[in-house]
Amino acid sequence: MIERYTLPEMGRVFSDAHKYELWCQVETLVMEAHAAAGTIPADAVEPVRQAPPPTPERVAEIEAVTQHDVIAFLTAWADNTEPREAAKWVHFGMTSSDLLDTALAAQLVEATDVLLAKADELVAVLRDHALEHRETLRVGRTHGIHAEPDVWGHRVADFAFGMARSRDRLRRARESVGVMAISGPVGTYSNIDPKVEEYVAEKLGLRPADVSTQVVLRDGIAEWVSALAVIATVCEAIALEVRHGQRTEVRELWEPFGKGQKGSSAMPHKKNPILSERICGMARIVRAQIVPVMEGIPLWHERDISHSSTERIALPDAAIATDYLLHLTTRLVRGLVVDTERMRQNLDSTNGLIYSSTVVSELIETGLSREDVYALVQSAAMRTWETGVAFRQTLRERAAEEGVELDEARLDEVCRPERFVRRLDRVFDRLKNLS
């Protein structure tokens, strides 16, 4: 991921320097297990533990010759080990995938914990914003058309619960991705005791694979990337709502707009929804990683490395972009400007048409058939659309034409926007307990 969208904490998780730190940690733990079992000399462990991880530059220099990243790492690390003789026991009984898959599992778990903390924050921000606006009337829209009265907090509550569910999916995916293997070539433990694998797994807080060939099957990693894609897409759903709300014709919502910020290089009046548009765009990047990662599940026999090149790009990009999306969406919601007066103006702008379904229900209760009531109310509504005359007036006209008596007092009672809010109390009561 380019630096523009890489936040420091997640950038460090996927840095080459940190990767080599994890590789050193895995190799040292394997040596500890070997030494405890008497497989290698006990005095070889400490010199290796004290050897600083090799620099990415040095590993790259050696890899340019070896064309093998693990061998380049081992050589560079051995150069840092005193006495160098101890380094010969590094990687003893292992194959490259033992190191790569185990360190990758630790890295992805670490990245997940960063994401979960930010997802928690976004859930809390959405919850608080929704509760703040539990009585902020607005028009609900279906197909982009005014439908019935609603409240802004109701819409945001849906996002809050959606993000909470998405976060919980990622929490479950953390278990699926925290799977390692140290089982040697083709996974038969031919040169390494399974107890070594158990020891390393316990120390790293990971779980040994139920079965490994030479690589850990990528279904868990595919699940993890899919969980990130859902989070990213919920962020997009939030941003898309803001984009619609900031349109000039709507003007109900505004992104935070800082002092000195510019909206357009040509038009000084512009305040564009750039944060929301960026969120919508970057969500595509996360979703785009699902297929290439999933295609890493089928490999040739016990191992090939067709998944390797894909994962070097897809996994950091998915995590870094999701991290940025969570950060940006939290910033968007926290600074969101809600124009409550404009929401009320828009709610009233269709001259009462948003009460048509309520009128249908009321007239059905008078004994008329649904078909007759729907035809009467629809014809009154179409007259309002065409003439701009208030819906209650066109309804009176059509009712008189059809000989239908209206209970005006009852219609006054049911055609109030506040009436549509009462039954949402149960939603907000649940929302209060969301964490």
Q: Are 155 and 242 in contact (CB under 8 A)?
A: no
96-132 helix and 425-432 helix, angle to the nearest 10 degrees: 130
User: Two tokens at 280?
Assistant: 């919508």
Asked about 143 being catalytic, the answer comes back as: yes
User: Two tokens at 214?
Assistant: 């030479």
Q: Which of 160, 119, 117 is nearest to 431 (CA)?
A: 160
Q: Which of 130, 27, 35 is nearest to 74 (CA)?
A: 27
> Looking at this protein, which amino acid is placed at residue 430?
R
Side-chain-facing half-sphere of 364: CA atoms under 13 Å? 11
The catalytically annotated residue of 143, 269, 301, 435 is 143
The catalytically annotated residue of 190, 264, 357, 369 is 264
d(CA 289, CA 291): 6
Q: Are 49 and 130 in contact (CB under 8 A)?
A: no
Q: Are 329 and 122 in contact (CB under 8 A)?
A: yes
End-to-end Cα spacing for the chain: 31
Largest alpha-carbon pair distance within the chain?
A: 104
Neighbours of 419 (CB within 10 A): 13
Q: Are 274 and 266 in contact (CB under 8 A)?
A: no
CA–CA distance from 325 to each of 112, 237, 394 (Å)? 14, 12, 48
Decide: residue 121, CB within 10 A, 0-12 exposed, 13-18 middle, 19+ buried: middle
d(CA 118, CA 111): 11
Coil, strand or helix at 145: strand
d(CA 212, CA 219): 12
Asked about 34 being catalytic, the answer comes back as: no
Catalytic residue ranges: 143, 264
